[in-house]
Amino acid sequence: MVNLTIDGIKFTAPDGTSVLDAARRHGISIPTLCHHPKLTPYGGCRLCIVEIKGIPRPVTACTTPVTEGMEVTTINPYLEKLRRTTLELILSDHPNDCMVCEKAGDCTLQELAYFYGLRENRFLGERRIYTKKDGNPLIERDMEKCILCNKCVRVCNEIQGVTAIDIAYRGFKSKVCPPYERDLDCEFCGQCIRVCPTGALTGKMWTLKGRQKDIKEIDTICPYCGCGCNLTLNIRKNEIVRVTSREDTINEGWLCAKGTFGYTFVNNPARLTKPLIRIAPKNSNELRVTSYELKNKKDSEDLSLITRHSSLEKSLVTRHSSLFREATWDEVFDLIAKKFTKIKEQYGPDSIGSLSSARCTNEENYLFQKFMRAVIGTNNVDHCARF
Amino acid sequence: MKSDIKIKVCMGTGGIAAGGADVMNAFNKELKEAGIDASVEKFCSMHKVGCRGLCAKDVLVDVIINGKKTIYQYTKPDMVSKIVNEHLIMGEPVAEWVAGEDYYNFHEKQTKVVLSDCGNIDPEDINAYIAVGGYEALKKVLTSLTPEETIAIIKKSGLRGRGGAGFPTGLKWEICRKVVSSGDSPRQESDQKYIICNADEGDPGAFMDRAVIEGNPHSVIEGMIIGAYAIGATKGYVYIRAEYPLAVERLRKALTQAREKKLLGKNILNAELNFDIKVKLGAGAFVCGEETALIVSIEGQRGMPRAKPPFPVHSGLWGKPTVINNVETLANIPYIIRKGADWFSSFGTEKSKGTKVFALTGKVKNTGLIEVPMGILLKEIIYDIGGGIDKGRALKAVQTGGPSGGCIPAELVDINVDYESLAKVGSIVGSGGMVVLDETDCMVSIAKFFLEFTQAESCGKCVPCRIGTKRLLEILDRITRGKGKDGDLELLENLGNDIKAASLCGLGQTAPNPVLSTLKYFRHEYEAHIKDLKCPAGVCNDLIEYSILEEFCKGCGACIRVCPSGAITGEKKKLHKITTAMCIKCGACFDVCKFDAVKKG
Ligand SMILES: Cc1cc2nc3c(=O)[nH]c(=O)nc-3n(C[C@H](O)[C@H](O)[C@H](O)COP(=O)(O)O)c2cc1C
Ligand code: SF4
Ligand code: SF4
Ligand code: SF4
Ligand code: FES
C-alpha cells in the first residue's frame, strides 16, 4: 500500500494502482474517453490529465501508477482549460448530428460536451469524410464519428484475440480499419461495439429501434451454450432491440457473436409457443419441402436471411396449421406418457434412447438423466455435445 | 624516386551522390593508363572514406604524397587525368582546383571528437579503426574497470544525450544498472537488460547520425559494447531507418567484422561479457525515433509512443530495463574512455560538455556537417565556419532543433550554443539541425513548413497532437493565403501552448515550437500577412504581385519569353508590363531578368 494525497485528501492505494483508479475508488471523478478498466491503459484522449507535484507537466491519471507520497491535483482551472481544448478539438472533427445518432443519450462524448458546455468551437476546420461501405449485416462502422480512443482495437486484440482492426495512416488521417481497409471480416463478436464511447460502432440490427432512455433492461442467461453468460435484454415495446451484458457478472460483460446478435429467434413468428400435436399423416412431406427451401438459399442471400426470414416463416406457420393442432401441456404429457409406456411394454426400456442439450441448465440435465434411469429404466442417456 | 602516394576519395552518401564512385574509378583507370612508374603504383593506395563535412564541395579528394596533403574540391571524373598528369607525375598540384581558404576556415573553428576519424579511415575495414586506437577503450574497460567505475567516468565527463532531450548519459546508465526488477514483474530479479542505439534520425535535413555510421560505424559499436558492460545488457539493437542503405550496409559489415574478431558474441575479448547486436530497420516514421515508440516498433507493433512513467530504464523493450542512446552519444563513449573524462569536459560550458555535431544548412556559404565545442557562439558558426550568408544578404534567423525547435532571431546571434542558452530563447539544441534563414525567408511559411511535417508524422494516438497540429496548420495556411482573421495570433498561441502541455510524447509537446518562437520574435511579420495582406519576404504567393520597374527595364524581352501564361507585353527596347490578372506568380520573370527590373511584393 502507498500513501498519497488527491485534491488535498489523504488516501492509501495498493501498489500498482493507477492514479485514476485510486481517485475513482474514493469517489473522485476524472473525465475519460479512452480508458477501460479491463484494457491496457492507453493515454490517448488526454482528458484524464492531472497535475502531480514534482512533475513539470500534466500527466494522464490512467497511465500513471501511484507512488508513495504522491500529491495529485485532479481539478483546477488550468486542467479544465486543457480538457476543454481537447474536447473542442475532438468535436471540431466530429459530425454534428447527435439528433439522428444511434448513440445519442448513451454517448460519452455527448455527455462530456454537455458538461463542458461546448456549443461554439474555436477550431472548426477540415473534417474526415468517409463512406460507409461494410457489407456485413451486423456491425455498422461510421468512422467519421471515431475519436481514435483505440478501445475497439484493444478489446479485439486483448480480450478477443482476433486483431481484426488497428490504426492505419498517420496524423490527421489516422483511421481505425481492418487491414488494407478491406471490409470487416472477423468473428463479429461485437465486443468493439460494446466499448466504443461514441456512435462510430453500432449494431446494424438495432438501427432506429429506439434510444436508450426508452429501453427496459431485463437480465437473463444466454441460452446458447453451457458457459451461461449473463445477458441484459434491452426491451422496447415488448421487443428485444439489442443485447448487452453487465460488467459485474461471470462473463465480465463480454459476449460472443451469438449472445450479441443471435436474439431474433425470440420474437420470430415461427417460434413454437404452445405444444403441437400432429394431425396430418406421418408420410406427409410438406414440412420437408419448406426446410429444403430454407436450406437452398444461396450463400450471399444467407446474410440477408436474418431480415428476409419472416416472410418464409409466415408460410411456415400456415403450413404448420395444416399439419398440427395446438394443445395444452397436460394433454401432450398424457400423450407422451401413454406412448412411452406402450413402447416400453412392447420392446423393453432399452429400446428408448435420449439426447439432452447443452442449452439446458445443469439442473435440467440432471433431471433428464434421472428421468431416463429411474422412470424409463435405461442408461441410454446422451448429450448433443458428443455429436 | 619512389613516392608514397595515397589518394582518398570522399565516399559518404553526399560524396557518392556527387559522383564519388566515378571519381574513384577514374583514378584507378588513369593511374593504370598513365602507366605511372610501376614502383610508384605499388605504393599507391586508395581509400573509401566517410563524410568529412563540407558536402557542398563534394567530391573532395585528398592526394597525399610523402605525407604532404593536397585537397581537391568539386572533383569530377574528367578532372582526374589532369590531376594524375600534373600532380602525381609532374609533382605540381592543379592550383585552380585545390580547396581554398573556405575549406580551411570551415575546419578551423571545429573541434572533432565524434567525427575525428570520420573521413580519415576506411569505414569498411575494422583494422583501419583499430589502427587509430579503436577498441582500446573496450579493452581498457574489460581489463581494468568495473561497470560502476565505467559509469562513474561517463558521469564525470558530463556527457548528455545527443538525441534531443540532453539527459545525462552516465545517470541513465546508472539508473538502469541499479534496476533489479523489471516493470512487468516487480520484486523479481530482472533476467534481461537491453541497450538500443537510436539511429532513426528522421528530422528533415538532419544527417549527423548517418554520417557517423557511414564514416565510423565501429565507434558506435564500441560505445554500445561498453554501455552493455556498464548496465549489464547482453542484447543490443540498432534501430536504423531503412532509407539509409549505405549506413545499414556499412553497419552490417562492421558487425560481422567485430564478430570475427570476437568483439561481439560470447566471452568478448575473453572476458566474462556476452553481448551481441541486432539491426532493426525502421520504416520511415519520424515518431519511431521517440524512444517508447521505437521500443513498440521493435516489438512488432504500430510505432506509437506510450506514456512515461514507467521509463524505459525500468520497463522498456519486452518490459525489461532498457537504455536507449543516440548514435552520436554512443560514438562519444570510446573517446571519453580512451582520453579521459577530464579531457572531454574540457570542451563546452559548465552544464553542456563536449562537442556537438550540427547539420548546417540553409543560406550560408558553406553548408555541411560540423562538429563544434558546446558553448560556441552562434555567430561563429554562421560567419566563421559557415562563411556568412550567401549572396551577401542579411541574416534573419537561425532555426535549430528541427521540427521540435524554434527560430532564433538575428539580434540574438551572440548567444552560446548549448542546451541551456538555446532553451532560454525558446529553441533547443535538439538532434542538431541548424537552418540559416535570410531576408528572403518568410517566417510564417517556415513555421508552416515544420507544422506540415509534424502533422503528417503525428502518430495519431493523442488528440492535442493529431487534431491540434492540424488546426494550427490550417490557421497558418489561411494566414499565408491572406485569409487570416483578427484573433488568429492569439488562437495560435493559446492552442499551441495547450498542445504542448497536453500531448503525450515529445513530438506533440514540441510541435508548436516553430510557431510559438516565430510568433514571439516575428509577430510583426504575421501581422503584416493578416492586416496589410503583405508577405514582407515576398514568399507567400497569394500576397505578392509582380511588376516591372520603369527605371530598370531595358525592354530586352527575356521575361516575355519565359512567362508561361502570356501575362507580359511590351515592344522591344520599350518598357514591358505585367497584366496582374493573368499572372500566375510563378516567378519566372523575376528569376530571368538580368537588370533586377522585376519587382516582387
Ligand atoms: C518525435 C521524436 C523523435 C525523435 N527522434 C530521435 C531520433 O531520430 N534519434 C534519436 O537519437 N533520438 C530521437 N528522439 C529522442 C529519443 O526519444 C531519446 O530521447 C533519445 O534517443 C535518447 O538518447 P540520448 O539520451 O542518447 O539522447 C526523438 C524524440 C521524439 C519525441
Ligand atoms: S466484432 Fe469482435 S472480432 Fe470483429 S472487430 Fe469487433 S472485437 Fe474484433
Ligand atoms: S471506433 Fe469507437 S472504440 Fe474504436 S477507436 Fe473509434 S471511437 Fe474508439
Ligand atoms: S504527441 Fe503526437 S506523436 Fe506523440 S503520441 Fe500524441 S499523437 Fe502520437
Ligand atoms: S482516459 Fe487517460 S488519456 Fe484517455
| pLDDT, tens only, B311-332 | 999 999 999 999 999 999 999 9
Q: Is the pLDDT of residue B42 over 60?
A: no
Report the residue count for chain B.
601
Ligand nearest to the CA of A191: 2
Q: How many CB atoms lie within 10 A of CB B322?
A: 31
Say yes or no: CB of residue A48 within 6 Å of ligand 5.
yes
| Model pLDDT, residue A317 | 57
| Model pLDDT, residue B96 | 85
| Surface of A (145-164) touching B: CB under 8 A | 147-148, 150
Q: Does A125 touch chain B (CB under 8 A)?
A: yes
Q: Which of B460, B470, B495 sits opposite A148 (nearest CB)?
A: B460
In this predicted model, what pLDDT tens digit does every residue of B493-511 receive, in sequence order? 999 999 999 999 999 999 9
Task: Compute the distance between CA of residue A62 and CA of residue A21 in angstroms, rounded to an integer.
Answer: 7
Q: Which candidate, A47, A197, A200, places its Cα nearest to that of A109? A: A197
β-bridge pairing B433-438 and B355-362 = parallel
Cell output for B564: 508561361
How close does chain B come to A137, measured CA to CA in Å?
30
Please tell me the residue having the least CA distance from ligand 3 atom 8: A149
| Model pLDDT, residue A372 | 96
Q: What's the rounded mean pLDDT across residues A149-157?
A: 97
β-bridge pairing B68-72 and B61-65 = antiparallel
Highest mean pLDDT among B104-108, B319-323, B391-395: B319-323
Mutate to test the pocket of ligand 4, among B286, B503, B510 (most ligand atoms within 8 A of CB): B503
CA B102 from centre of chain: 21
| Model pLDDT, residue B261 | 95
Distances (CA, A) of B422 to B3, B406, B429, B490: 51, 9, 7, 24
In this predicted model, what pLDDT tens digit does every residue of B18-29 receive, in sequence order? 778 888 888 888
Q: What's the rounded mean pLDDT across residues A345-352?
A: 96
**What share of chain B in percent tops pLDDT 90?**
70
The minimum-distance atom of ligand 4 relative to the CA of B460 is 7
For an interface test with B, which of A40, A123, A150, A198 has the most B Cβ atoms less than 10 Å from its Cβ? Answer: A123
- DSSP string for residues in B401-454: SGGG-EEEEGGGTTSB-SHHHHHHTT---TT-EEEEEETT--HHHHHHHHHHHH
Q: Is the pLDDT of residue B44 over 70?
A: no
Burial (CB count <10 Å: 0-12, 13-18, 19+), residue A105: middle
Find residue B237's DSSP bridge partners.
Answer: B196, B278
Q: Does A123 touch chain B (CB under 8 A)?
A: yes
Enter the ipTM.
0.84
Residue A324 · residue A278 · CB < 8 Å: yes
> Are the Cβ atoms of A46 and B463 closer than 8 angstroms?
yes
Residue A369 · residue A377 · CB < 8 Å: no
Q: By CA distance, what is A47's nearest residue in B?
A: B502
Domains of chain B from N-terminus onward: 3-99 (3.40.30.10), 126-345 (3.40.50.11540), 355-438 (3.10.20.600), 443-531 (1.20.1440.230), 545-600 (3.30.70.20)
In this predicted model, what pLDDT tens digit does every residue of A31-62 receive, in sequence order? 999 999 999 999 999 999 999 999 999 999 99
Burial (CB count <10 Å: 0-12, 13-18, 19+), residue B182: buried
β-bridge pairing B322-326 and B355-362 = unpaired
Q: What's the rounded mean pLDDT across residues A215-238?
A: 91
Long-range contacts of A320-326 (CB under 8 A, 24+ apart): A320/A276, A322/A280, A322/A286, A323/A278, A323/A279, A323/A280, A323/A284, A323/A286, A323/A287, A324/A276, A324/A277, A324/A278, A324/A279, A324/A280, A325/A276, A325/A277, A325/A279, A326/A274, A326/A275, A326/A276, A326/A277
Strand (E) positions, A22-121? Answer: 49-52, 59-60, 70-73
CA B467 to centroid of ligand 4, rounded, Å: 10
The minimum-distance atom of ligand 2 relative to the CA of A201 is 6
Q: Does B3 touch chain A (CB under 8 A)?
A: no
Q: Please report where in the chains the cell 501498489 appears, as a residue.
A: A15
CA B223 from centre of chain: 20
Q: What's the rounded mean pLDDT across residues A250-255?
A: 94
| Model pLDDT, residue A80 | 97
Predicted structure pTM score: 0.86
Q: For residue B335, give the 3-state DSSP assignment.
A: helix
CA A5 to centroid of ligand 4, rounded, Å: 29
Task: Compute the distance between CA of residue B230 and CA of residue B138 in angstroms, rounded to an integer.
Answer: 11
In this predicted model, what pLDDT tens digit does every residue of A260-271 receive, in sequence order? 999 988 888 888
Say yes or no: CB of residue B198 within 6 Å of ligand 1.
yes
